[in-house]
Structure 1
Amino acid sequence: MIGGFQKFTLIDYPEKLACIVFTQGCNFRCHYCYNPDLVLPDRFKNTLREEEVLSFLEKRVGLLEGVVITGGEPTINVGLKDFIKKVKDLSFLVKLDTNGSMPQVLEELIKEGLVDYIAMDIKAPPEKYADVVGAHVNLKDIDRSVRLIMSSGVDYEFRTTVIKDQLSVQDIVSIAKWIRSAKRYYLQKFLPGKTLDPTFAYKNTYSDEELRSILSLIKDNFFECAIR
């Protein structure tokens, strides 16, 4: 189900001119989520027809380079693969944003050459995962997705939204050890705003100086590591 569409972005697909397709529905309930209208079924608005998006893309062949598919969580949508095939048939690159909870879907997309870039959110160290995502989580599936992505040959990044009240410095160090040797890892600074849990508008965030200090502790684990 397509719940939103942004016709142009310079920042969501690295070094590519792209558009963004937002899918509805998510199996996590991360308190800090910026897209509650895409996560909670009772907030779903009228969905966009797939044909509307494809019609737009047909007119942008040669002008846009890529399509970012995000959510919500795209991999829980049964029509994802067929939609991506149609996008690829128009010769667009595809970037997929995912929480990594559906490794079997990722594996199928990778094997069929349907994704060109994967961005996976690493929510927390394993022992804190369920608390941070606000839902039951199969940690074996999360780890399987991490290993699958790292060995896939597909370009990728991992990223973590960091909130001081939720993840300690040691938690972030633990994540870095878990995904050591990944190609890219980004710390995303939490900016209070419209979130799934309204109380998170008042949560403490790390300062830029604190984030730089954390970065110095973990950067040697990765080929590229930075703050967003």
Structure 2
Amino acid sequence: MQLFKGHQKTSFIDYPDKICTVLFVGGCNFRCPYCHNGELVNNEGEFIDEEYIFDFLNKRRKMLDGVCISGGEATLYNTKLYDFITRVKKLDYLVKLDTNGTNPELLKNLIDNKLIDYVAMDIKAPFDKYEDVVNVKIDIENIKKSIDIIRNSNIDYEFRTTVCKELLTKEDIIELAESIKGSKRYIMQNFKDGETVLAGKGKFTSYKGSELKNIEESIKGWFEEVKIRG
């Protein structure tokens, strides 16, 4: 089974309050121009052997709390992903899934079968602007279904949005946040420029910290927790 094209052996930030290892799938069904994982989105690079991964996980069982599966977009792989996580859970690891929410059926299946413990779902834009940001045609109902599945589950979760001035205004961010009002945790991730950005370096502008703080003040009463990253 070939799934992963990247591996960060240890992370203290990808799984809140846990030490985890991060596995990155190749390929994505979105083309968000600010994405900093351009190589993964384009499915470049060599696959990592699965037995290497499980050998690593077996050796680190006393040092790691969990496995974070990121991308790319992991839910593109359906049965492969389900089978991989099933095998990981047999090693008593916590599993965190990063997703764009385009496969609500798989997401529900993983949650119902207690195969994931934490979900981080990226919400890209207000619903009427989604395609402008992700640069592909999408079924927005799948995004809404995934939001509802996560909110109504009994697992820990966060919704998060990468923000840059060219794609999301302050009003856009507030509208987006209002659409998920009452959720547990909402995170604004400030855009970071770099050589690996999908659209190229120098195309997008991050927000000033003071600007994001101002937005945070406007929306913080809608969630149990609001955070700014970056």
TM-score (ref. length: structure 1): 0.97
User: Which residue of the partner structure matches residue 180 of structure 1?
Assistant: 181
- CA deviation digits over 1:51-92, x for unaligned, max 9? 110110001112110000000000001300000011100000
User: Which residue of the partner structure matches residue 82 of structure 2?
Assistant: 81
User: Which residue of the partner structure matches residue 27 of structure 2?
Assistant: 25
CA RMSD of aligned residues (A): 0.9
User: Which residue of the partner structure matches residue 4 of structure 2?
Assistant: 2
User: Which residue of the partner structure matches residue 200 of structure 2?
Assistant: 198
User: Which residue of the partner structure matches residue 115 of structure 1?
Assistant: 116
User: Which residue of the partner structure matches residue 208 of structure 1?
Assistant: 209
- The alpha carbon displacement at 1:7 in A equals 0.7
Code of the aligned partner of 1:9: S
- The alpha carbon displacement at 1:222 in A equals 0.4
Code of the aligned partner of 1:46: E
CA–CA distance in 1 between the matches of 2:46 and 2:61? 27
Moved over 6 A (4+): none
Code of the aligned partner of 2:52: E
CA–CA distance in 1 between the matches of 2:204 and 2:153? 37
2:124·2:133 contact (CA, 8 Å) conserved in 1?
yes
Code of the aligned partner of 2:226: C
Aligned length: 225
CA–CA distance in 1 between the matches of 2:187 and 2:37? 20
User: Which residue of the partner structure matches residue 56 of structure 1?
Assistant: 56
CA–CA distance in 1 between the matches of 2:42 and 2:204? 22
CA–CA distance in 2 between the matches of 1:96 and 1:64? 16
CA–CA distance in 2 between the matches of 1:109 and 1:13? 18
User: Which residue of the partner structure matches residue 126 of structure 1?
Assistant: 127
Code of the aligned partner of 1:64: L
Code of the aligned partner of 2:30: F
- What is the DSSP-based 3-state SS (H/G/I as helix, E as strand, rest coil) of the residue aligned with 1:226? strand
User: Which residue of the partner structure matches residue 105 of structure 2?
Assistant: 104
Structure 2 stretches lacking a partner, 5+ long: none
2:34·2:204 contact (CA, 8 Å) conserved in 1?
no
CA–CA distance in 1 between the matches of 2:170 and 2:38? 27
CA–CA distance in 2 between the matches of 1:198 and 1:49? 30
CA–CA distance in 2 between the matches of 1:177 and 1:17? 32
Structure 1 stretches lacking a partner, 5+ long: none
Q: 1:11 aligns with which of 6, 10, 13?
A: 13
- What is the DSSP-based 3-state SS (H/G/I as helix, E as strand, rest coil) of the residue aligned with 1:191? coil
- What is the DSSP-based 3-state SS (H/G/I as helix, E as strand, rest coil) of the residue aligned with 1:83? helix
